[in-house]
Structure 1
Amino acid sequence: MKRVPPTMRLLALLGAASLALTACGGDGGEAGGEIKLAFIGAQTGPNAQLGINISNGVELAIEQYNATNPDKKVVLTKYDTKGEPSVAPGQADKLIEDEPVAIIGPAFSGESKAVAPKFEEAQIPNISPSATSTALAANGWKYWHRIITNDDSQGAEDAKAIVSQLKAKKIFLVDDNEEYSIGLAGKFLEALKAEGITPGSDKINPDDTDYSSTINKIKAADPEVVFFAGYYAAGGKLLKQMRDGGVDALFFSDDGALDQGLIDTAGAKQAEGSIISCACQSVNPTADNPKVQEFIDAYKKKFNVDQGTYSAEGYDATNVFLDAIKAGNDTTEKINEYLKTVDVQGVSKPIKFEANGEIADKSIFYFQVKDGKLEFLGDATKIPTS
C-alpha cells in the first residue's frame, strides 16, 4: 500500500468536512452567536426608492429586535440588484454563498422571477414585500412567500373602479413592458373586455426619454382615462409629456408608480388629481393597533423621513422572521415550517400565508395626488367621481 503523506491526509479530512457542511445547506445562517438575514432588491437605479423604503423597514425591525435580544444578535446584509433582472442573479449567488437563514425581497417582479428558483434550490425561505406578478405563485415553490396581493387582484379591481366609480368608457392602456407591468396590464385588459370595453393601447421603453409616438396615439384616441402599468420613473416622464402634449385625461396607475418620484418627474401641476392603486395602504394610527404609531415614530426618528411605499411591508416581513427566531427557529427549515403557522396583525395588514406562499389579505387601496403630495383615499368607494 502506498503511504499517504500526513499533509495529504489532512487535506482529505478538510475536504470531507467541507462536503459535510455543504450537504447541510439550508441550515446555515448562524455564526459566532449571530444569525444572518439578507435583503435583496434595488438600492440604486431609476426606481430605487421603492427598494430603499423596504430595506429601511428591514433595518428598523432588526435594530429593535437586537435591542431586546442580545443573546441572539441578527445581522443584515443587503444585496443591490438595481431593480434589474439581469443584475439580480449575480447578487443572489453572493447571497446564497453567505448562507442566511431567511431573505427579505426581492422588491420587483422581474428580479423575483430571475432569482426565486435559486433560493428554492438553496432552500432558503424568502418573503417579498412588494413583488406582485401573479405568475410567481404558480411555480409550486415551497420557500417563496409575499406579503402583498397579486396583479390579478389589482388589475381587476382597477378596471372595476374606473368603470364603476368613474363611469369611464374611453380608456387608453400603456405599459412599460416589464415583467410586473405586462401581467398587470393583461389582467386590466381582460377585466375591461368583460365590461364590454376595448381600450386603445401602447407600450413604452422605460429607458427612452421621448414618448411622442405614444402621446400621439393617446391624443388620437381621446380617452377619459389613461391607465399606466409600470414604475414611477417611466410613469413620471409619460405623465409630463401627456400634459405638455395637451392630453388632459385622468392619469390612473398602480403601486409601482406610488412614489413621490412620479410627481417630482412629472411636475406637481401636471400630476395633480392622478389616482394610484396599491395593495398597500397609508399606515395611519389606530386605537386598536398601537404598533402603527410606534412604527411611524421610530421610522421617522431613525431615517429622518416619513415611511414610504412598502416600508411597512418590509418591516412586517422582517418581523415574521424575527418572531420565528424568537420562538427558537434558527435554521432555514424550521423557519420555513414556522411560516405555515403565522397569523398575526402586522403594521401594514393581517399576515397569514396561503399554501402557495400568497398573502391571504387581498385588499386594494387608492391614493390621489393633491397639492404635489400623495394622499391616501381608502378603498375604491373613496375615489372622487368628479
Structure 2
Amino acid sequence: MSRRKLLVALSYVLFACVSVTRTVQSEEIKSVKIGIAAPLTGFSASNGKDEENAARLAFEEANAQGLIIGGAKIAFEIDGQDDAADPKTAVLVAQRFVDENVSGVIGHYNSGCSVAASSVYRRAGIPQISPTSSSPSYTAQGFETTFRTISNDDQMALLAANYSVEQLKAKRIAVIDDSTDYGTNLVTEYVKAIQKRGAQLVSWQYTTANSIDFRALLTTIKGLNPDLIFYVGQDIQAAGLAKQIRQLGIRARFMGEGGFTNEHFLQLAGQGAKGMLSWEYGLPRDRMPRAAELDAKLKARFGVGIVQFAPLAYDAAWAMINAMKASDSTDPKKYIKALRTNAFDGVTGTIAFTQTGDLKNASATLYEEQGGKWVALAVEKTTAK
C-alpha cells in the first residue's frame, strides 16, 4: 500500500473513532434525583399516595420523552419519602434529600410539614413545590425556594365565610379546627370574616390530628343551637365527625374544608355526609383541562385514579421539569429563576407563580353531598396577593 493510501485509510479510521466518541457523548445519560415528600401512612395516607403517584407519573413521562438538558440525556430518579404528616419527621426527610443532593422536591402535603422543612431546602438552595400546602405562612417567609400549585388559606377562608353568611344566611356559627398550622390559620381567618359580615361566633372548639371521638365537643355545640358548623381537618376525621353530628341529632348545616370531596370520604361518613357542604381548592374535575386523561393514566400505571390532589401534584412536577427545560439546566441555582417566569397550561389550568411562589390564578369550588355524590354548587376565582 502506498504512503498516500495509508494516510487516507488512517484518516477514515480516525474520523470513525471521533464520530463514535461524539455519538457516545450525545447519548450520555445524566441521573437527576428528585424528592417527593408526603404522608404515606396515617390519616392522610390516601391523599399522600395520590400526590406521590401523580408526581412520579410526570417524571416518568419526562423520562420517556428522552429529554436533552445541558447537552445530556436526562433520567429522573425518584425518591419518595413518608413524612407521616409530622413536622419533625418532615425536617428529617428534608435533610435526607439535601444529603442525597436532589435537584428539587415535590411536597410536602401538610402545611406544617412544608413550613418546617422549607428552611432546610432554603439553606441548600433546593426548590420546593408543594401541591397542597395552603398556609399563608409557607410563602410569607419570603424564601426564594418555596412554591405551590394551590391557592392559600386566606383566600379560601374569605370565600367560605362569604358563602356561609350571604348565601346560607347563617347567623350563629360554631367552628372546629384540628390544632394544626393549617386548621388553626384557616379557621382564624374564617372567624374574622364571618364576624365582619355580622355573624355570631357561638363556639370555637379544638381537636387534634389523631382524634376520633368528638361527642364531648359536639354536645357543647348542640346546646348552643348553631345554624352552621364549620370544620377544618383531615378527611378521615371529618367522616367520623359527620357521623357523630347526625347521631347526636344536631340540625345545623355542616361545612368542611380539608379534602373531603372524594368517594373514600363518602364511604366512611355514610349517612353522616348527607347534605354536607365542602369547600375545595381548584376547579371541579369535569372542568379541569385534561383531568380525565390524567385519571386514565394513573389507573393504568398505579391501578388507582385521581383521589383528590393528583392534578395539583402532576402540575407541580411539570412546573419543575419545564423550568429545567427553559433554563437548559438541572442545577437548582439556574432553573429556579425560570420557575418564577415560566408559565404553561397544566391539568388544573394555567400554572404561573408570583414572586413569592404563590399560584397567580387559582380557583375554589363549593360542593354539596346530594344522593351519595358530590355536586358542585359554586366556583370562585381567587387571585394571589
Task: Give the alignment of 1:85-104 within 5 angstroms.
Answer: 85-104=87-106
Q: What's the counterpart of residue 298 of structure 2? A: 299
Q: What's the counterpart of residue 238 of structure 1? A: 241
In 1, Cα distance between the equivalents of 2:259 and 2:145?
24
For each residue in 1:147-197, what CA deviation from the matched residue of structure 2 results, as whole angstroms up to 9, or x when unmatched? 111110001110101111111212111111111000000000000110122
Task: Name the CA shift for 1:375/1:53 in 2 (closer, same or farther; >3 Å).
Answer: farther
In 1, Cα distance between the equivalents of 2:139 and 2:322?
24
For each residue in 1:16-46, what CA deviation from the matched residue of structure 2 results, as whole angstroms up to 9, or x when unmatched? xxxxxxxxxxxxxxx9611111101111111
Residue 210 of structure 1 aligns to which amino acid in structure 2?
A: D
Aligned length in residues:
347
Higher mean C-alpha deviation, range 123-132 or range 323-332: 323-332
In 1, Cα distance between the equivalents of 2:296 and 2:43?
28
Q: Shift in Å at residue 233 of structure 1?
A: 2.1
Contact 1:161 1:380 in 2 (8 A): no
Residue 233 of structure 1 aligns to which amino acid in structure 2?
A: I
Q: Shift in Å at residue 262 of structure 1?
A: 3.1
TM-score (norm 2): 0.85
Task: Give the alignment of 1:69-108 within 5 angstroms.
Answer: 69=66, 71-108=73-110
Task: Give the alignment of 1:222-371 within 5 angstroms.
Answer: 222-267=225-270, 269-284=271-286, 289=289, 291-327=290-326, 328-371=328-371
Task: Give the alignment of 1:1-386 within 5 angstroms.
Answer: 33-69=30-66, 71-199=73-201, 200-267=203-270, 269-284=271-286, 289=289, 291-327=290-326, 328-379=328-379
Task: Name the CA shift for 1:313/1:329 in 2 (closer, same or farther; >3 Å).
Answer: same
Residue 61 of structure 2 aligns to which amino acid in structure 1?
A: Q
For each residue in 1:281-301, what CA deviation from the matched residue of structure 2 results, as whole angstroms up to 9, or x when unmatched? 233267xx5x44432321232
In 2, Cα distance between the equivalents of 1:204 and 1:259?
23
In 2, Cα distance between the equivalents of 1:281 and 1:152?
18
Contact 1:230 1:257 in 2 (8 A): no
Residue 92 of structure 1 aligns to which amino acid in structure 2?
A: A
For each residue in 1:112-156, what CA deviation from the matched residue of structure 2 results, as whole angstroms up to 9, or x when unmatched? 121111011111011000001111121110010111111100011
Residue 357 of structure 2 aligns to which amino acid in structure 1?
A: G
Contact 1:120 1:143 in 2 (8 A): yes
TM-score (norm 1): 0.85
Q: What's the counterpart of residue 17 of structure 2? A: none
In 1, Cα distance between the equivalents of 2:378 and 2:308?
15
Percent pairwise identity:
26
- Identify unmatched segments of 5+ residues in structure 1: 1-30, 382-386
In 2, Cα distance between the equivalents of 1:86 and 1:56?
24
- Identify unmatched segments of 5+ residues in structure 2: 1-27, 68-72
Residue 171 of structure 1 aligns to which amino acid in structure 2?
A: I
Residue 63 of structure 2 aligns to which amino acid in structure 1?
A: N
Contact 1:283 1:347 in 2 (8 A): no
Runs of 4+ in 1 over 4 A off after TM superposition: none
Contact 2:363 2:380 in 1 (8 A): no
Contact 1:61 1:318 in 2 (8 A): yes
Residue 89 of structure 2 aligns to which amino acid in structure 1?
A: V
Q: Shift in Å at residue 48 of structure 1?
A: 1.2
Higher mean C-alpha deviation, range 143-152 or range 227-236: 227-236
Residue 37 of structure 1 aligns to which amino acid in structure 2?
A: I
Aligned to 2:165, the other structure's residue is in SS state: helix
In 1, Cα distance between the equivalents of 2:36 and 2:347?
19
Q: Shift in Å at residue 380 of structure 1?
A: 5.7
Contact 1:280 1:364 in 2 (8 A): yes
CA RMSD of aligned residues (A): 1.9
In 2, Cα distance between the equivalents of 1:241 and 1:283?
29
In 1, Cα distance between the equivalents of 2:344 and 2:60?
21
Residue 33 of structure 1 aligns to which amino acid in structure 2?
A: K
Q: What's the counterpart of residue 3 of structure 1? A: none
Contact 1:35 1:74 in 2 (8 A): yes
Q: Shift in Å at residue 75 of structure 1?
A: 1.2
Contact 1:37 1:75 in 2 (8 A): yes
Aligned to 2:218, the other structure's residue is in SS state: helix
Contact 1:282 1:376 in 2 (8 A): yes
